[in-house]
């Protein structure tokens, strides 16, 4: 299980690092390649506005609340877990409101749930090591 956690986090880290560089420096030259490859530009803009940005703001609100309540994360994996949960919540709301049930959107949702599961196990392991 330890290897699964390490490899999953390594793959997620490499993927997000690559996507960060592409979005920062090559945004105009490259099309927005996302797992939802069946989306046209308007659908991708709506997806970004209704799922990705709300997940970002939901995560920020959670950490602002944690700051004001005086609670610190119990492991370095906790922020990753919160981001994954926020993304899963906004995907569920997206399915209810506008997202089509396609193979790509279901795949994204399953990957998000898998990452939530793996990161939660890693967090519990790390939390037990701290205490």
* pTM exceeds 0.75, yes or no: no
49/43 Cα distance (integer angstroms): 10
34/15 Cα distance (integer angstroms): 11
The predicted-structure confidence for 45-88, as pLDDT tens digits, reads as follows 777 778 878 888 888 788 878 777 877 766 777 888 888 888 89
14 by Cβ neighbours in 10 Å (0-12 / 13-18 / 19+) ranks as exposed
């Amino acid at each position: 299980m330890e290897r699964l956690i390490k490899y999953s986090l390594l793959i997620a880290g490499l993927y997000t690092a690559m996507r960060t560089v592409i979005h920062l420096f090559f945004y105009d030259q490259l099309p927005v390649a996302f797992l939802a490859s069946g989306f046209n530009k308007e659908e991708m803009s709506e997806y970004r506005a209704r799922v990705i940005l709300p997940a970002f703001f939901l995560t920020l609100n959670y950490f602002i609340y944690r700051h004001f309540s005086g609670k610190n994360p119990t492991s370095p994996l906790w922020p990753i877990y919160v981001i994954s949960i926020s993304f899963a919540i906004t995907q569920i709301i997206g399915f209810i409101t506008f997202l089509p049930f396609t193979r790509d959107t279901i795949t994204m949702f399953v990957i998000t749930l898998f990452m939530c599961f793996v990161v939660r196990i890693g967090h519990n392991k790390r939390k037990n090591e701290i205490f």
